[in-house]
Amino acid sequence: MIGPRCLAGALWRRAGGQSHVKLFLRGGSQLSSSPTQRCWRAAYSSDSAPSLPTDNTTPRTVEINGKTYTTDAWFNVSSTVLALTSRKLHLQKDHPVAITRKIVESVFPGPTYKYYNEFDPVVSTYENFDSLGFPPDHPGRARSDTYYINKDTLLRTHTSAHEAELFRARESGGYLISADVYRRDEVDRSHYPVFHQMEGARVWDRNQVPNGDLAAAIREDLARLPKHNVRVEDPNPPFHPERNPLQAEHHTPEEAAAVAAHLKHSLELMVNEIFSRAKAAAAKQSPVPSPEQQQETEPLRVRWVEAYFPFTSPSWELEVFYQGDWLEVLGCGVSKQELHINAGRPSQIGWAFGIGLERIAMLLFQIPDIRLFWSRDERFLRQFRGVEDDLARLRPFVPFSRHPACYKDVSFWLRGTSAAGGNDRKGVGAADWHANDLMEVVRDVAGDCVENVRLVDEFMHPKTGRRSLCYRINYRSLEKTLTNAETNEMHDRVVSALVERLGVEIR
């Protein structure tokens, strides 16, 4: 199984590994502010930095995309994140996320595939987790990793949250969903608390195929798909009794093999489309081809890797060899039959996949920092104008400037585990500490002016048993040079917020 939130957010680490991510209203005033304004406000305005909701500051209700929700003690969505629920980058004409969506859609044409691009990000915990067979103790359910509105309602963490409803609706033979998804996470150049995913699925109904021969019907559909010249490494059998089991009580080996073959060929066509476009764009940029680009005429290399997801079996990840590295691109598998049964469609069988769009867009357009996707700066946006309607105009992004970085450290004590810790004020103990809470406070106060945050030192006091942590915060605006005074002021506000909201004691 792959690292957490691969591709700026495609996938979950298997339960038991580290928490699932390596993958964002209260103030109406922030809703429409540009990132530049956010930086400015964070730096200068005394009332602009809304606090991470705690018991006494949690609003009783929040409004998201015109609907009002009642909060409870589970509420943990900061105003900055809430403000992003209305952005819908995947629907903004000529935005790189929207262009990437279009490229994926072009490989899954109608009327077989129907597109769903407008699903609301607020879903139930049932839809996001239970309907997909996530166990009750799955790490993805933790409040440290997921944004909750209340105990039963959250900001979807993946587009799979809509699978059950679309299996039930059965409006077409297949579908694609594109949507914004939300995960509490670390801060760096490839992780952002909101990103976009696409989900795809294809289903067949055993009561509707000629002679009831499902495997034959799926193989016929497979034969009708376009051919490709991708070099595919697929060392594993279609299923494996322990590692990647066939759902033997529901599917014959022939049926599952046929679904898997259709799935794999369809997704090979998709990555071939994406990566051929990425190579072509890179080649247009530099007239003298690099060694990598000389390989352009060589077919794309991909490999299938066994994986695990609670809602598919067998399951795989697809990796693509690009610029000298194997990249994890997507997760997929044969849908668990329980999903179809619970959707009232027991005679349906099919496959599903999920892919993170930002990471793909970063490759396609050579976009170096995930924060750029949220930029309203014309120097960013104008570079993609006209591409959605004419993909041949796709070119790598040309960075407009790289403003200087400035890092600042913050060191603090967590509450001791022993009474000798001597800290009787309200604060976090080591047991309650989660780095994502710190990340959230930093994002909320300094917004997109922070490029990354990392732990640089950690130690335990030998006598008191108290734990001390030191984090390095790298401040760099994408849009302007931050002055020392601005950075200092921002950092002071971050430090105060850490004390107020997380109860740490600054050293």
Name the residue nearer to ligand DAH (CB basis): 41 or 158: 158
**Minimal distance, residue 160 CB to ligand DAH, in Å:** 4
Per CB under 6 A, does 160 bind ligand DAH?
A: yes
Taking residue 66's Cβ as centre, other Cβ atoms within 10 Å add up to: 7
Phi, psi of 198 (to 5 degrees): -120, 140
Task: Tell me if 332 sits within 8 A of 352, measured CB to CB.
Answer: yes
Strand order in the sheet with 122-124: 122-124, 153-155, 148-150
**Minimal distance, residue 161 CB to ligand DAH, in Å:** 8
Name the residue nearer to ligand DAH (CB basis): 14 or 480: 14
Name the residue nearer to ligand DAH (CB basis): 7 or 42: 7
Task: Tell me if 346 sits within 8 A of 207, measured CB to CB.
Answer: no
Cα–Cα distance measured from residue 442 to residue 450, given in angstroms and rounded to the nearest whole number: 8
Name the residue nearer to ligand DAH (CB basis): 333 or 396: 333
DSSP H/E element including 7:
helix 6-9
Strand order in the sheet with 174-182: 113-116, 174-182, 194-205, 348-356, 325-335, 312-322, 301-309, 231-233
Among the residue ranges 7-15, 143-151, 270-278, 280-288, the one whose residues contact ligand DAH (CB under 6 A): 7-15
Task: Tell me if 143 sits within 8 A of 76, measured CB to CB.
Answer: yes
Name the residue nearer to ligand DAH (CB basis): 71 or 128: 128
CA neighbor of 444 nearest in space, from 128, 30, 75, 56 = 30
Name the residue nearer to ligand DAH (CB basis): 41 or 183: 183
Cα–Cα distance measured from residue 105 to residue 100, given in angstroms and rounded to the nearest whole number: 9
CA neighbor of 310 nearest in space, from 341, 348, 352 = 352
**Minimal distance, residue 29 CB to ligand DAH, in Å:** 32
Per CB under 6 A, does 503 bind ligand DAH?
A: no
**Minimal distance, residue 365 CB to ligand DAH, in Å:** 22
Q: Is 431 exposed, middle or buried (0-12, 13-18, 19+ CB in 10 A)?
A: exposed
Per CB under 6 A, does 256 bind ligand DAH?
A: no
Joined together, the tokens standing for residue 370 give 């995930």
Joined together, the tokens standing for residue 316 give 């795989």
Length of the chain: 507
Name the residue nearer to ligand DAH (CB basis): 160 or 383: 160
**Minimal distance, residue 381 CB to ligand DAH, in Å:** 27
Q: Map tokens 């009783």 to a residue.
A: 60
**Minimal distance, residue 168 CB to ligand DAH, in Å:** 16
CA angle 245, 12, 131 (to 5 degrees): 70
| Positions 167 through 226 that interact with ligand DAH (CB under 6 A) | 199
**Minimal distance, residue 424 CB to ligand DAH, in Å:** 42
Of 1, 11, 179, 259, the one binding ligand DAH by CB under 6 A: 11
Of 1, 7, 12, 182, the one binding ligand DAH by CB under 6 A: 12
Phi, psi of 170 (to 5 degrees): 40, 60
Of 22, 101, 141, 158, the one binding ligand DAH by CB under 6 A: 158
Name the residue nearer to ligand DAH (CB basis): 12 or 192: 12
Among the residue ranges 9-17, 56-64, 241-249, 369-377, the one whose residues contact ligand DAH (CB under 6 A): 9-17
| Positions 321 through 380 that interact with ligand DAH (CB under 6 A) | 331-333, 352-354
In terms of DSSP bridges, do strands 348-356 and 406-413 run parallel, antiparallel, or are they unpaired? unpaired
CA neighbor of 96 nearest in space, from 479, 393, 448 = 393
Name the residue nearer to ligand DAH (CB basis): 176 or 332: 332
Name the residue nearer to ligand DAH (CB basis): 6 or 278: 6
Binding-site size for ligand DAH (CB under 6 A) equals: 14
Name the residue nearer to ligand DAH (CB basis): 48 or 160: 160
Q: How far is CA 209 from CA 221, 349, 387, in A?
A: 11, 12, 40
Joined together, the tokens standing for residue 264 give 């794999």
- Quick note: the x/- pattern for ligand DAH over 74-113, rule CB under 6 A, is ----------------------------------------
**Minimal distance, residue 23 CB to ligand DAH, in Å:** 8
Question: Which residues face 473 on adjacent strands?
Answer: 408, 453
Name the residue nearer to ligand DAH (CB basis): 11 or 281: 11
**Minimal distance, residue 202 CB to ligand DAH, in Å:** 11
Name the residue nearer to ligand DAH (CB basis): 40 or 108: 108
**Minimal distance, residue 199 CB to ligand DAH, in Å:** 5
**Minimal distance, residue 496 CB to ligand DAH, in Å:** 35
Work out the angle between the directed axes of helices 253-285 and 214-224 (0-180°, nearest 10): 20
Among the residue ranges 5-13, 252-260, 365-373, 487-495, the one whose residues contact ligand DAH (CB under 6 A): 5-13
Per CB under 6 A, does 312 bind ligand DAH?
A: yes
Residue nearest to ligand DAH (CB): 354
- Quick note: the x/- pattern for ligand DAH over 270-309, rule CB under 6 A, is ---------------------------------------x
Q: Which residues contact 137 (CB under 8 A, 6 or more apart)?
A: 15
In terms of DSSP bridges, do strands 301-309 and 231-233 run parallel, antiparallel, or are they unpaired? parallel
Cα–Cα distance measured from residue 254 to residue 89, given in angstroms and rounded to the nearest whole number: 41
In terms of DSSP bridges, do strands 153-155 and 301-309 run parallel, antiparallel, or are they unpaired? unpaired
Per CB under 6 A, residues contacting ligand DAH are 10-12, 158, 160, 199, 309, 312, 331-333, 352-354
